[in-house]
Structure 1
Amino acid sequence: MNWDNQDKDPWGGKNDAPDFDDLLKKFSSVLGAKKATSSNGSGSGGGGNKLSSSRIFLYAFFAFLIVYASQCIYQLDASERAVILRLGKFHEEQSEGLNFRLAGIDDRYVENVSLTRRYTQTNSMLTKDENIVDVTVSAQYRIANLKDFVLNVKDPEGSLRNAIESALRHVVGDNTLDQTLTVGRENIAFDVQNRLQAYLDTYQTGLLVQQVNIEKTDPPQAVKDAFDDVVAAREDKERLQNEAERYALSIVPEARGQAQARIRQAEGYKLEVVANAEGEVARFTNLLEEYSKAPEVTRDRLYLDALQSVLSNSTKVMVDVEGGNNLLYLPLDKIMEENKKQENSRINLRRVDDE
């Protein structure tokens, strides 16, 4: 391959490209580095400088266009939005992707509208029953309307901080100390969120409150020990009440059961007494009818029945002999015991024989 021929490329083609030295010379002449040595040269050089100045202006103009275009074209992420102000007046709101603005004329405000922001503050509040309590509240919020966020309020988040304090003071002022410290915290957070959102909508801040939490509620440090004693006493009171209620639930049903049992017994005794009385009345009526028919026979029968009833329950009998001075003693108890022993012996012998 022939490299000596400078007018041709290595593949035999004609090389029409300008020489590098020539390019340097032309560039030097454009910048005015090369000075004319003759008047003719000066005349011709003047025409060349005029042409070079126009080229410089053209190059500078294109360079300015490139830089200006790079400042005008920008890209937004999926979570970002931009508000464009043209000469201080709202022009448009731009979303994700490539966007265009007039640099130097348009003002651009870019914010992340998907980002959830958080703010926490602690303040001393006065409750409904005129007690002081330290409340720590936190709010989670995001930008819902970027145009309102940028244009309507100078410091939207500063307005949010002031609105939180105002809403919290209003709601805590409607609740007692006991509600604020114990069971009412969830309701307080809900009321604060609604009131805070109403304030922000009135101000047209473009902010949306997503959640409000009451992080902590404590009495002031100066009275914390006394308050702890009150809380402990309240817990003891509730514990004793629960124990009393539990004892009542265990003893009252038992007492009611015993009362019902006694009522049943009384009713049964009542029925028994009434039935016995009615039976005695019926027996006496029948006996009266028999007595009216045969008085002496009935009288003797009643006498014998009475003796039988008395003597059947007696274990000792004394017999008076007519015309004598001696009494006959019959030990019926001993006789009955002996008869029982003999009867038991016979029963045992029968069992042995059966086995």
Structure 2
Amino acid sequence: MAWNEPGGNNQDPWGGNNRGNDGPPDLDEALKKFQDKLSGILGSGSGGGGTGGGMSGASMGLLFVIVAILYGLFGFYQVNEQERAVVLRFGVYLETKDAGLRWNAPLVDDVTRLNVTKVRTHSSRGEMLTQDLNIVEVNLSIQYRVDDAQSFVLNVRDPERSLAQATDSALRHVVGSTEMHEVLTEGREKIAIDVETRLQQYLDSYETGIRVDKVNVQETNPPREVQAAFDDVNKAREDEERLKNEAEAYANGIIPEARGKAQRMIEEATAYREQVVAKAEGEAKRFEQLLAEYQKAPKVTRERLYLDAVQEVMANSSKVMIDVEGGNNMLYLPLDKIVNSSASGTIRNMEISPQVVREITDRVTDQLRREAITNTRRREVR
């Protein structure tokens, strides 16, 4: 039952005597009792009078063991896979530890864990002079990471500040060696490469332990006061480049076409030359063969040549007029009508075959002979 209920004999919850009033308990007395109990737990030997004595050797040993265990537990730490731990003992470099569960003595060793795989970014922006004494504004960003944890922690007091100062120095040196036109247009990639090379040289000479991965020139602008003029210049350059591209496209289209026409004309001329030469050679060979035949039979050959000539002439003629020797009459031969009335049907489309020519020649010869005989008789009668 509660201490202040009826029949509780007015017991004090703090172990004190009954004071006969309802005042607060004596805190000093309660604290003294708590100390006595703690001394009993630790093995202090007081006679029952409640006054604590000094600690024994066993108590001191137990306390030392507890403190040692706590001290050892506080020395364990975990190094992640992407981290490296730089250990200093009394302010002097001891070692660099890789990933894993590690232990170092607390209050003796100072451990600095550093992420060596994280890609960090630093941005820089400023106005500077170019080689041709113009002012430009350059904005660039740098991606870097910690390559040497020991150098990053120990060699430089503020590595990131050193990086910023080295970046400004390298950028101003490179831009100061470049003309304004290249800085504002196509030279930005080269500027980024040169800045990266020079910046890495500075960081290596300072032994900062920083490795530059990439330098990006994000923006280059002329001063605001002359921005409009530079926009006009850039527009003119763009127009120039566009016209160049159009001219090159036109040239790429017209030149192959002209070359194709020239090649075609050369091939046609070559074919015509070969044709003429072949025809001439054929005519020469035919003449040589005809000469050989003429030497063998001159009369037959002459007649054959005559018939071929007549055939060639009459093939392109529809009417023939023949002047009869020794007479006054002109003989008219309507070849077109003769061809149309021919029953053989071998002459069509104004084409005359050798047989027809021979037939016509025979008719003409017979007619001439008849007229010659008739004229001769008339003269004899007279």
Q: Find the counterpart in structure 2 of residue 171 from structure 1.
A: 174
Q: What is the root-mean-square deviation in Å for CA atoms of aligned residues?
A: 4.8
> 2: CA distance between counterparts of 1:133 and 1:232?
18
Between the aligned partners of 2:96 and 2:270, the Cα distance in structure 1 is: 93
Are positions 1:278 and 2:254 aligned together? Answer: no
Identity rate, percent: 48
Judge conservation of contact 1:83–1:147 (CA < 8 Å) in 2. no
Q: Which residue of 2 aligns with 1:205?
A: 208
What is the 5 A alignment of 1:9-158?
19=16, 24=28, 86=90, 90=92, 100-101=106-107, 113=115, 117-128=120-131, 131-141=134-144, 148-149=151-152, 152-158=155-161
In structure 2, the CA distance between the partners of 1:275 and 1:223, relative to structure 1 (3 Å rule), is same
Structure 1 residues 143 and 306: CA distance shift in structure 2, 3 A: closer
Rounded to whole Å, the distance in 2 between the matches of 1:325 and 1:125 is 118
Give the Cα separation in 2 of the matches to 1:135 and 1:122: 6
* TM-score normalised according to structure 2 size: 0.58
Q: Given residue 24 of structure 1, which amino acid in structure 2 is its aligned partner?
A: D
* Superimposed CA distance per residue, residues 211-252 of structure 1 (whole angstroms, 9 cap, x where no aligned partner): 432221223323333333333233333333333333333333
Instruction: State the distance in 2 between where 1:144 and 1:291 align.
Output: 107
Give unmatched runs, 5+ long, in structure 1: 10-16, 29-50, 56-61, 346-355
Whole-angstrom distance in 2 between the partners of 1:252 and 1:147: 66
* Relative contact order higher in (CA < 8 Å, ≥ 6 apart): 1
Q: Secondary structure at the match of 1:100?
A: coil
Q: Corresponding residue for 2:265? A: 262
CA distance in 2, matches of 1:210, 1:255: 52
Structure 1 stretch 161-170 or stretch 298-307: which is displaced more?
Answer: 298-307
266 and 22 in structure 1: CA distance in 2 versus 1, 3 angstrom threshold? closer
2:196 aligns to what?
193
Tell me by how many angstroms 1:165 deviates: 0.8
- Change in Cα spacing, 1:131 to 1:319, as seen in structure 2 (3 Å) is same
Which runs of 5 or more structure 2 residues have no equivalent in the other structure? 2-6, 18-24, 33-50, 56-62, 349-382
SS at match of 2:137: strand
Q: SS of 2:317's equivalent?
A: coil
TM norm structure 1: 0.61
Code of the residue aligned with 1:253 in structure 2: it is P
Give me the whole-angstrom Cα distance separating, in 2, the residues matched to 1:218 and 1:183. 13
Q: 1:41 maps to which residue?
A: none
Counterpart-to-counterpart distance in 2, 1:222 and 1:23? 81
Conserved in 2, the CA contact under 8 Å of 1:81 and 1:110? yes
1:76–1:99 contact (8 Å) kept in structure 2:
no
Q: Matched residue pairs, number? A: 294
- Paired residues of 1:83 and 1:146 also in contact (CA < 8 A): no
